[in-house]
């Protein structure tokens, strides 16, 4: 699925080139812009519907996280998509959960980096041996 390339996302080496992940000042807001949570006009944080495991599934996990990498075209050609997320459930690695979403459950449009996703399903090894959730249920909040 992802090989080891996605692990390089968090390297943080400074090669002198601009890095889009470095902290930037937020632009000034106008009175009509949404404010911080709790302020008038503030946007509500997206939320996901609850996910649950079918009682008949072994090794089932419920998880959610923010997308940090999308693999829209799986090299094996079966039409599934993979979403690497920053996730408290840490199914794949500490702080990381991968969702394997088969073709018939792929949302349209696909989630993008920063979107909140969640779902449930059994945990199995991916082609590189990494643990991932092969979802039976998948949700997206933007």
Q: For 15-38, what is each residue's pLDDT tens digit? A: 443 443 333 343 444 444 444 455
- The closest of 129, 117, 122, 48 to 81, measured between CA atoms, is 117
Determine, yes or no, domain membership for 31: no
Kindly report the number of other CB atoms within 10 A of residue 34's CB atom.
12
Q: What is the pLDDT of residue 11?
A: 33
Instruction: Report the predicted TM-score, pTM, of the whole model to 2 decimal places.
Output: 0.69
Q: Determine the Cα–Cα distance for residues 99 and 83; give it in Å rounded to an integer.
A: 5
Q: Which residues pair with 125 in a beta bridge?
A: 131
Determine, yes or no, domain membership for 85: yes
Q: Which domain holds residue 133?
A: 52-142
Determine, yes or no, domain membership for 88: yes
CATH assignment of the domain containing 116: 2.40.50.140
> Per the structure, how many domains does the chain have?
1
Determine, yes or no, domain membership for 142: yes
> Which of the residues in the chain have pLDDT under 70?
1-43
Q: What is the pLDDT of residue 18?
A: 41
Q: What is the pLDDT of residue 35?
A: 45
Instruction: Locate the DSSP E strands across 1-142.
Output: 60-71, 81-86, 96-101, 116-125, 131-134, 137-141
Q: What is the pLDDT of residue 76?
A: 76
- The closest of 6, 106, 116 to 63, measured between CA atoms, is 116
Determine, yes or no, domain membership for 46: no
């Amino acid at each position: 699925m992802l090989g080891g390339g996605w692990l390089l996302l968090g390297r943080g080496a400074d090669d002198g080139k601009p890095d889009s992940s470095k902290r930037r000042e937020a632009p000034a807001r106008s009175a009509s812009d949404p404010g911080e949570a709790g302020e008038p006009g503030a946007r509500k944080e997206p939320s996901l519907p609850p996910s649950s495991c079918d009682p008949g599934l072994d090794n089932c996990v419920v998880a959610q996280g923010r997308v940090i990498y999308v693999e829209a075209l799986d090299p094996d050609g079966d039409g599934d998509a993979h979403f690497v997320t920053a996730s408290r459930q840490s199914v794949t690695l500490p702080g990381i959960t991968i969702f394997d979403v088969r073709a018939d459950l792929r949302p349209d449009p696909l989630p993008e980096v920063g979107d909140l996703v969640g779902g449930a399903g059994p945990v199995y090894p991916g082609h590189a041996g990494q643990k991932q959730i092969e979802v039976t249920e998948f949700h997206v909040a933007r």
